[in-house]
């Protein structure tokens, strides 16, 4: 069940909100747990058991880690929790990838398992691991109430697409969260804004990308239009879904961490990854990079650590060599920036460092979106005129003109310009009153427009839905 669907917006969510706010506080987690199980069961009836198993495994391992705290057994149980969680993730997400790689290397014919990938398994696996690892480290307390812990793992606002919410982020709010009109209003506003980004922008850019892939009359200009459209598509798709998740969390009293901070204004790849998918980057930093030694080791080991982290980051996004290459592409760029390029980027005019960053990010998204490394390389070569195709033609001009206004809106919306203007207006008392009056009207209008698009059966996929 997608957040951006009629079923979710007008049937599931109103019923859950009604039930949630009429029951006493001691039953609120039960309502959220049952609603989350139903939400997941709607799309994955069988694999709901995998999610419950992951929650149960994390809960039991947590009890054992706490019971044997200070002994070697505690370390054994945290290692066990990691092995069990990654084994489940590996079985469903990577088994066929490894089999195909084995068959390719050794010319064997081992049969593929062809297991469907459970929705959101990468997200809830990482969330469970954050609990057991933090518990072992002593940075959080054991949760002895299974319902509370399971509610954290299966909580539907962030279940299938993040942000990756660590247990420490919501530990207190699982039992002591507050509900008020301010939180509810903020949550609704954030949800509607995220839904508008997803339906009105991301979906349209996604359509343009599909048009590009389907046409036989590609040009150099069209490749660049596609690169821009895909960059905006993945940003508004994922950040829009994160906005919806954060908004839903706030409605129910949870404060989820931010996941995006206008990454397309970055002036280096290092800055880009401080702004893009923040919760994933910080997860790998705290649970992989720092335990490997981070940058407090020799330079050679430091660069090794970066390569390991980014190879894993690529694998997290998908079981394919193009994803691993995508991760290593960023690893090399980050190593170069840390070695010498970062200092140079600070000295040159900001427009050039921004241009450098965006070109490389565009190239990375082409690698990310391709079905293979070979396809990605052919598209990148074509972008720079190496495929012997025309610079432009009437087909490219038609689609560029048709989507030009939307691309302009997307480019502006990917910057904090609108947010800055609204905040400037709010500094003036009369303007603040106008904004406060207009804000709910805008929300209603956006909701109606989004609903019209959804009823019309518009293009409505979600890129991170099966990560």
CA distance 421 to 235: 21
CA distance 197 to 233: 10
Q: Rounded to 5 degrees, what are φ and ψ at 465?
A: -60, -35
**Catalytic: 277?**
no
Per-residue model confidence (pLDDT) at position 463: 60
Per-residue pLDDT of the chain (467 residues; tens, 9 = 90+): 788 889 999 999 999 999 999 999 999 999 999 999 999 999 888 899 999 999 999 999 999 999 999 999 999 999 999 999 999 999 999 999 999 999 999 999 999 999 988 989 999 999 999 999 999 999 999 999 999 999 999 999 998 887 999 999 999 999 999 999 999 999 999 999 999 999 999 999 999 999 999 999 999 999 999 999 999 999 999 999 999 999 999 999 999 999 999 999 999 999 999 999 999 999 999 999 999 999 999 999 999 999 999 999 999 999 999 999 999 999 999 999 999 999 999 999 999 999 999 999 999 999 999 999 999 999 999 999 998 999 999 999 999 999 999 999 999 999 999 999 988 888 888 888 888 888 889 999 999 999 999 987 666 665 655 55
Per-residue model confidence (pLDDT) at position 263: 98
Which of 61, 233, 277, 317 is an active site residue?
Answer: 317
Q: Are 196 and 355 in contact (CB under 8 A)?
A: no
Q: Which 3 state secondary structure label does DSSP give 369?
A: helix
- Residue 163, preceding bond cis, omega within 30 degrees? yes
> Which residues, at least 6 apart from 462, have a Cβ–Cβ distance to it below 8 Å?
2, 4, 161, 198, 237, 241
Q: Which 3 state secondary structure label does DSSP give 254?
A: coil
Per-residue model confidence (pLDDT) at position 439: 87
> Structure tokens of 301?
């080991």
pTM above 0.85, yes or no: yes
Q: Are 260 and 242 in contact (CB under 8 A)?
A: yes
CA distance 230 to 296: 37
Per-residue model confidence (pLDDT) at position 47: 92
Distances, alpha carbon 387 to alpha carbons 48, 216, 322, 325, 367, in Å: 47, 14, 21, 22, 17
Distances, alpha carbon 424 to alpha carbons 135, 140, 420, in Å: 44, 40, 6
Per-residue model confidence (pLDDT) at position 465: 52
């Amino acid at each position: 069940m997608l957040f951006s669907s009629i079923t979710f917006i007008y049937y599931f969510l109103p019923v859950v909100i009604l039930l949630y706010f009429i029951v006493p506080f001691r039953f609120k987690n039960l309502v959220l747990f049952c609603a989350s199980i139903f939400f997941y069961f709607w799309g994955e009836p069988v694999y709901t058991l995998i999610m419950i198993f992951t929650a149960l495994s994390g809960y039991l391992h947590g009890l054992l880690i706490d019971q044997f705290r200070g002994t070697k057994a505690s370390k054994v149980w945290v290692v066990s929790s990691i092995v069990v969680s990654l084994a489940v993730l590996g079985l469903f997400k990577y088994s066929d990838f490894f089999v195909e790689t084995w068959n390719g290397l050794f010319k064997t014919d081992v049969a593929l398992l062809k297991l469907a990938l459970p929705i959101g398994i990468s997200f809830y696996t990482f969330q469970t691991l954050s609990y057991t690892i933090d518990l072992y480290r002593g940075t959080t307390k054991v949760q002895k109430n299974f319902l509370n812990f399971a509610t954290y793992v299966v909580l539907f606002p962030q279940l299938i697409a993040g942000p990756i919410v660590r247990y420490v982020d919501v530990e207190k709010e699982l039992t002591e969260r507050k509900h008020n009109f301010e939180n509810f209003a903020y949550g609704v506003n954030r949800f509607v804004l995220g839904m508008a980004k997803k339906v009105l922008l991301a979906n349209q850019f996604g359509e343009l990308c599909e048009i590009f892939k389907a046409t036989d009359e590609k040009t150099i200009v069209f490749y660049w239009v596609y690169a821009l459209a895909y960059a905006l598509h993945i940003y508004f798709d994922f950040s829009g879904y994160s906005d919806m998740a954060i908004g839903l969390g706030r409605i129910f009293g949870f404060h989820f961490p931010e996941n995006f901070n206008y990454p397309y204004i970055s002036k280096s790849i290092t800055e880009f990854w401080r702004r893009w998918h923040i919760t994933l980057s910080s997860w790998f930093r705290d649970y992989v990079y720092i335990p490997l030694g981070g940058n407090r080791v020799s330079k050679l080991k430091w660069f090794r650590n970066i390569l390991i982290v980014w190879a894993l980051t690529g694998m997290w996004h998908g079981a394919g060599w193009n994803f691993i290459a995508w991760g290593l592409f960023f690893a090399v760029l980050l190593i170069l920036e840390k070695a010498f390029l970062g200092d140079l980027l600070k000295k040159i005019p900001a427009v050039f460092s921004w241009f450098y960053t965006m070109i490389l990010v565009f190239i990375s998204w082409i690698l990310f979106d391709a079905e293979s490394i070979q396809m990605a390389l052919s598209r990148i070569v074509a972008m720079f005129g190496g495929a012997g195709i025309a610079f432009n033609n009437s087909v490219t001009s038609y689609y560029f003109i048709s989507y030009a206004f939307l691309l302009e809106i997307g480019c502006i919306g990917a910057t904090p310009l609108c947010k800055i203007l609204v905040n400037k207006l709010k500094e003036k008392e009369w303007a603040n009153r106008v904004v406060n009056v207009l804000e709910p009207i805008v929300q209603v209008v956006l909701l109606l427009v989004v609903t019209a698009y959804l009823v019309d059966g518009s293009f409505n996929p979600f890129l991170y839905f099966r990560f």
